[in-house]
C-alpha cells in the first residue's frame, strides 16, 4: 500500500480520547503527529499507529507553551510537508469549589485547555491558509455548556473553546478552513476513572442512553467532521454525550 500524503496533528494523543482519535484517523489513511506532554507514551502510540501503514511521529509538546507549539508545526511541516487536520484534544482538570480554588488551579486549566487550543489553532491555521484547506476540531465538554459544580476553571475553559471555535470559524471560512467543536459527556478514560463512585453514578442518572461513552464514540465524530461529508459544516458544536444536553 502507498503511504498517505495528508497529515493530522492530534494533541494529547498519548492516551485516552486523543489516542482513539489518532487511531481512527490513521484507519482513514492519514499520517499522524502524536503530540503530547508525555513523550514516552506518545512514542508508544506512534509506534502502534504504524500498523495502519501510515507514517506516525511523536512530538513532545506542552500546548500552553508558544515555543513548543511553534516547534510542533515546524517539525510537522519539515517531516510531512503539510498539515491539513488539527484535533485540539489535550486537556486537564484541577477540580475544586470556586471559593477554594487556587489561582494556580485556575491558571493551569485555562492555560492548557483554552490557550493551548488557541495557540495550536493559530500556528496550524497559518500553514493551512497557504494551502487554502484545513479542518480543525476542538474537544470541548458538556461542562462548557451546562457548567459543573467543582469545575469552574474547567467549565470556563471549555465554554471558551466554544466561543473560540465560532470566532475562528468566521475568520477562516473564506480560506476553506472549517472549525468545529465536539462536546463529549461522561467518557470512560483515566480522566474520569479517578472520579468518586458517587459522582459516576450521578452522571449515569443524567444520561438518557444509560451508559457512559467510550473514546471511540468521540473518535467517530471527529472522523466525520474532517471528512468530505462535513465540508459544509463550520462553527458548530456537536453533542456526543448520550443525550445529557439536547
Cβ 27 to ligand NAP shortest distance, Å:
18
Angle at CA of residue 238, ends 237 and 242, nearest 5°: 140
**What's the start-to-end Cα distance of the chain, in Å?**
43
Residue 36's closest CA among 111, 109, 90, 85?
Answer: 90
Q: Are strands 56-60 and 85-88 parallel, antiparallel or unpaired?
A: unpaired
Residue 155 pairs in a beta bridge with none
Burial (CB count within 10 angstroms: exposed 0-12, middle 13-18, buried 19+), residue 186? buried
Stretch that binds ligand NAP, among 7-15, 49-57, 75-83, 228-236 (CB under 6 A): 7-15
- Taking CB under 6 A as the criterion, the residue among 8, 10, 12, 72 binding ligand NAP is 12
The pattern of x and - marking residues 206 through 225 that bind ligand NAP according to CB under 6 A reads --------------------
- Taking CB under 6 A as the criterion, the residue among 16, 134, 160, 242 binding ligand NAP is 16
Cβ 121 to ligand NAP shortest distance, Å:
14
By three-state DSSP, how is residue 13 classified?
coil
Cβ 184 to ligand NAP shortest distance, Å:
4
C-beta of residue 14 within 8 angstroms of C-beta of residue 36: yes
CA–CA dist 91, 109 (Å, integer): 8
Annotated active-site residue 123? The verdict is: no
160 near ligand NAP, judged by CB under 6 A:
no
Number of residues that bind ligand NAP (CB under 6 A): 29
- Taking CB under 6 A as the criterion, the residue among 78, 103, 190, 197 binding ligand NAP is 190
Cα distances from 64 to residues 34, 94, 110, in angstroms, run 16, 15, 9
61 near ligand NAP, judged by CB under 6 A:
yes
64 near ligand NAP, judged by CB under 6 A:
yes
Cβ 168 to ligand NAP shortest distance, Å:
17
C-beta of residue 213 within 8 angstroms of C-beta of residue 239: no
- Taking CB under 6 A as the criterion, the residue among 4, 118, 145, 184 binding ligand NAP is 184
- Interface contacts to ligand NAP, rule CB under 6 A: 11-12, 14-18, 36-38, 61-64, 89-92, 112, 116, 139, 141, 184, 186-187, 189-192
Point out the residues that are catalytic. Answer: 154
Amino acid at each position: 500500500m502507498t503511504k498517505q500524503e495528508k497529515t493530522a496533528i492530534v494533541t494529547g494523543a498519548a492516551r485516552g480520547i486523543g489516542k482513539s482519535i489518532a487511531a481512527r484517523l490513521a484507519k482513514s489513511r492519514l499520517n499522524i503527529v502524536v503530540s503530547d506532554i508525555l513523550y514516552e507514551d506518545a512514542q508508544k502510540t506512534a509506534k502502534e499507529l504504524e500498523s495502519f501503514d501510515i507514517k506516525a511521529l511523536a512530538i513532545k509538546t506542552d500546548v500552553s507553551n508558544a515555543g513548543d507549539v511553534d516547534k510542533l508545526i515546524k517539525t510537522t511541516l519539515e517531516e510531512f510537508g503539510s498539515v491539513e487536520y488539527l484535533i485540539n484534544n489535550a486537556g486537564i482538570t484541577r477540580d475544586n469549589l470556586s471559593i477554594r480554588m487556587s489561582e494556580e488551579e485556575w491558571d493551569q486549566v485555562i492555560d492548557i485547555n483554552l490557550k493551548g487550543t488557541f495557540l495550536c489553532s493559530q500556528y496550524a491555521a497559518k500553514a493551512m491558509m497557504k494551502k487554502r484547506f484545513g479542518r480543525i476540531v476542538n474537544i470541548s465538554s458538556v461542562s462548557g455548556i451546562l457548567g459543573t459544580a467543582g469545575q469552574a476553571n474547567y467549565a470556563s475553559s471549555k465554554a471558551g473553546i466554544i466561543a473560540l471555535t465560532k470566532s475562528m470559524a468566521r475568520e477562516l471560512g473564506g480560506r476553506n478552513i472549517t472549525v468545529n467543536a465536539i462536546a463529549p459527556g461522561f467518557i470512560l478514560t483515566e480522566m474520569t476513572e479517578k472520579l468518586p463512585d458517587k459522582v459516576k453514578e450521578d452522571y449515569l442518572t443524567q444520561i438518557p442512553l444509560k451508559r457512559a461513552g467510550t473514546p471511540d464514540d468521540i473518535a467517530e465524530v471527529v472522523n466525520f467532521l474532517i471528512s468530505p461529508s462535513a465540508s459544509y459544516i463550520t462553527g458548530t458544536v456537536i453533542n456526543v454525550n448520550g443525550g445529557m444536553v439536547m
